[in-house]
């Protein structure tokens, strides 16, 4: 006997309208209203709160391939955007099943209430396998997601809105995701049954300046956990102002949007920093713009990489690691000049996942080594960066693993 899915008998209260005119009906969750964005899918099994608050997802609607979402609820500790009040992260979300009731000792809020409070519009009760297959075959589509408790929609107007949206190419979203002013970070990584720690700035051994294009909190925590005082500066900060802070190292953060668009003002700054031979480390958008600064090119990907189970090979060690990824643009490895070495590559599709300058302490990776969520295989990269700082100071290297 075939079991009828429970949502098939309910009146649709949300729709996803794709740019090609496809209309997918479901049950609305989270905030009401509508938003236009790009639809992607994420294959992670855990960490929905961290994913939805990752500023790299600004301008995107996240489809979770895992069917049951919500079982650990939400809390105020696990958000990843630096300024939660600004609600920088995914603008929409799609689930297969109804939100699961929370059952976790750290939960303080139901996921549906949390989504509504952050202005994230959601849709549940659809065939997420079919939508994922569609994205895989045809690429990430532009779309409108709309939620109305009364189920009243102007479908033709929504189709036009989805069709006319220009997409992520050419969009500088870092200006929306970045901090409004400089700040200091001292919180250290979470420890079981203890929570997050705190670094005494007087005990810090190194000073790292983070150029914030949409940085995640756990990146900053890992720096603090390695005895680094971190100064976070807005994306538009000049190289003169960055170097005036006398950093031991400069970090180029993750973030949303088209790297070429953000690079119009960020690339000249990065080039100036490289000339000083200050140890420099980039992640995600920071990696892409470092590639541009070194003479390479970036390109929009067919479907992007989003999930916590992506295999990447580190050519510098010969090892394969499973990593967390979230990006829709990539560095074209063939465009990199001779003085730049490709260090990491995706074993899914061969795209570039890392680079370094052969003659300067400068490197970057496409994936998210801070995990949160995701495996911690790549935590060694933070020690690799700190070792560049230590070498410049004449100190012995730390073990990477």
Helix (H) or strand (E) run with residue 241 in it: helix 239-244
Instruction: Judge whether residue 2 has pLDDT over 50.
Output: no
- Decide if 264 is catalytic: no
- The predicted-structure confidence for 137-148, as pLDDT tens digits, reads as follows 999 999 999 999
Q: What is the pLDDT of residue 3?
A: 32
Q: What is the predicted pLDDT for the residue at 279? A: 98
Confidence of residue 86 (pLDDT cuts 50, 70, 90): low
Please state the length of the chain: 401
Using CB atoms within 10 Å of the CB of residue 163, give its burial: 0 to 12 exposed, 13 to 18 middle, 19+ buried. middle
Task: Examine the residue annotation and report whether 370 is marked as an active-site residue of this protein.
Answer: yes
Predicted local confidence at residue 374, as pLDDT: 86
Q: Is the pLDDT of residue 7 over 80?
A: no
Q: Where are the beta strands (DSSP E) in 9-59?
A: 14-18, 23-30, 33-42
Query: What pLDDT, on the 0 to 100 scale, is given for residue 148?
Result: 98
Collapsed DSSP state (helix, strand, coil) of residue 370: coil
Q: Where are the beta strands (DSSP E) in 358-395?
A: 362-365
Instruction: Categorize the per-residue pLDDT at 55 as very low, low, confident or very high, splitting at 50, 70 and 90.
Output: very high
Computed over every residue of the chain, the mean pLDDT equals 95
The backbone torsions φ and ψ at residue 375, rounded to the nearest 5 degrees and listed phi first, read -70, 160
Give the span between the Cα atoms of 354 and 350, in whole angstroms.
12
Question: Could you report the per-residue pLDDT of 276-329, keeping only the tens digit for each?
Answer: 999 999 999 999 999 999 999 999 999 999 999 999 999 999 999 999 999 999
- Neighbour tally for 33: CB within 10 Å: 11
**Is residue 284 annotated as a catalytic residue, yes or no?**
yes
Which of 202, 243, 207, 188 has the alpha carbon at shortest distance from 386? 207
Contact predicate 146/17, CB 8 Å? yes
Q: Which pLDDT belongs to residue 401?
A: 75
User: Which of 80-84, 246-250, 326-330 shows the lowest per-residue confidence on average (mean pLDDT)?
Assistant: 80-84
Average of per-residue pLDDT across 245-258:
98
Is the pLDDT reported for residue 4 higher than 80?
no
Chain segment 160-199, per-residue pLDDT in tens: 999 999 999 999 999 999 998 999 999 999 999 899 999 9
pLDDT at residue 70 tops 90: yes
Count CB-CB contacts under 10 A for residue 4: 8
Task: Specify the CATH number for 6-164; select among 3.40.50.300, 3.40.630.10, 3.90.1150.10, 3.50.30.20.
Answer: 3.50.30.20
- Which residues face 116 on adjacent strands? none
- Characterize the bridge pairing of strands 183-185 and 195-198: unpaired
Checking if the pLDDT of 8 tops 80, the result is no
As a dihedral over the C-alpha atoms of residue 48, residue 52, residue 55, residue 58, rounded to 10 degrees, the angle is: 140
**Predicted structure pTM score:** 0.96
Give percent of the chain with pLDDT exceeding 90: 94
- The tokens for 185 are 């970070």
Q: What residue segments make up the domains of the chain, in order of their start? A: 6-164, 174-392
Q: How far is residue 135's CA from residue 122's CA, in Å, rounded to a whole number?
A: 18
Q: What integer is the mean pLDDT of 231-243?
A: 98
Which entry of 284, 305, 310, 321 is annotated as an active-site residue? 284
- Flag whether pLDDT at 209 surpasses 90: yes
Report whether pLDDT(6) > 60.
no
Please compute the mean of the pLDDT values over residues 8-28 and round it to a whole number. Answer: 93
In this model, does residue 84 exceed pLDDT 70? no
Q: How far apart are CA 221 and CA 207, in angstroms?
A: 14
What fold is seen in the domain 174-392? Answer: Rossmann fold (3.40.50)
Count other C-beta atoms under 10 Å from residue 335's C-beta.
16
Residues 254-258, mean pLDDT to the nearest whole number: 98
Q: Write the CB contacts of 389 (distance below 8 Å, at least 6 apart in sequence).
A: 206, 248, 249, 279
């Amino acid at each position: 006997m075939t079991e009828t899915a429970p949502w098939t008998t309910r009146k649709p209260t949300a729709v996803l309208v794709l740019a090609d005119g496809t209309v997918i009906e479901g049950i609305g969750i989270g905030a009401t209203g509508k938003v236009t964005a790009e639809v992607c899918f994420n294959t992670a099994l855990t960490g929905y709160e961290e994913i939805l608050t990752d500023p790299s997802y600004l301008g995107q609607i996240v489809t979770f391939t895992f069917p049951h979402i919500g079982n650990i609820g939400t809390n105020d500790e696990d958000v990843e955007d630096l300024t939660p009040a600004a609600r920088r992260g995914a603008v929409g979300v799609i689930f297969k099943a109804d939100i699961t009731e929370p059952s976790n000792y750290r939960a303080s809020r139901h996921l549906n209430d949390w989504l509504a409070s952050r202005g994230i519009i959601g849709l549940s009760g659809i065939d997420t396998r079919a939508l994922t297959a569609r994205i895989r075959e045809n690429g990430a589509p532009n779309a409108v997601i709309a939620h109305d408790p009364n189920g009243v929609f102007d479908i033709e107007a929504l189709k036009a809105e989805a069709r006319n949206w220009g997409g992520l190419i050419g969009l500088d979203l870092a200006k929306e995701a970045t901090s409004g002013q400089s700040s200091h970070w001292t919180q250290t990584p979470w420890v079981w049954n203890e929570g997050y720690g705190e670094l005494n700035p007087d005990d810090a051994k190194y000073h790292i300046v983070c150029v914030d294009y949409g940085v995640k909190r756990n990146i900053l925590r890992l720096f603090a956990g390695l005895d680094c005082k971190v100064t976070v500066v807005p994306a538009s900060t000049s190289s003169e102002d960055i170097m005036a802070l006398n950093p031991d190292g400069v970090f180029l953060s993750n973030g949303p949007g088209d790297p070429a668009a953000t690079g119009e003002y960020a690339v000249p700054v990065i080039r100036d920093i490289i000339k000083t031979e200050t140890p420099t480390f980039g992640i995600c958008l920071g990696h892409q713009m470092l590639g541009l600064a070194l003479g390479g090119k970036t390109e929009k990907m067919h479907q992007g990489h989003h999930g916590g189970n992506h295999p990447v090979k580190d050519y510098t060690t010969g090892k394969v690691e499973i990593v967390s990824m979230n990006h829709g643009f990539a560095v074209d490895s063939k465009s990199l000049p001779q003085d730049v070495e490709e260090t990491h590559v995706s074993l899914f599709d061969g795209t570039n996942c890392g680079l370094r300058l052969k003659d300067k302490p400068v490197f970057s990776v496409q994936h998210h080594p801070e995990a949160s969520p995701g495996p911690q295989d790549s935590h060694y990269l933070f020690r690799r960066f700190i070792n560049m700082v230590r070498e410049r100071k004449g100190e012995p290297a730390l073990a990477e693993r």
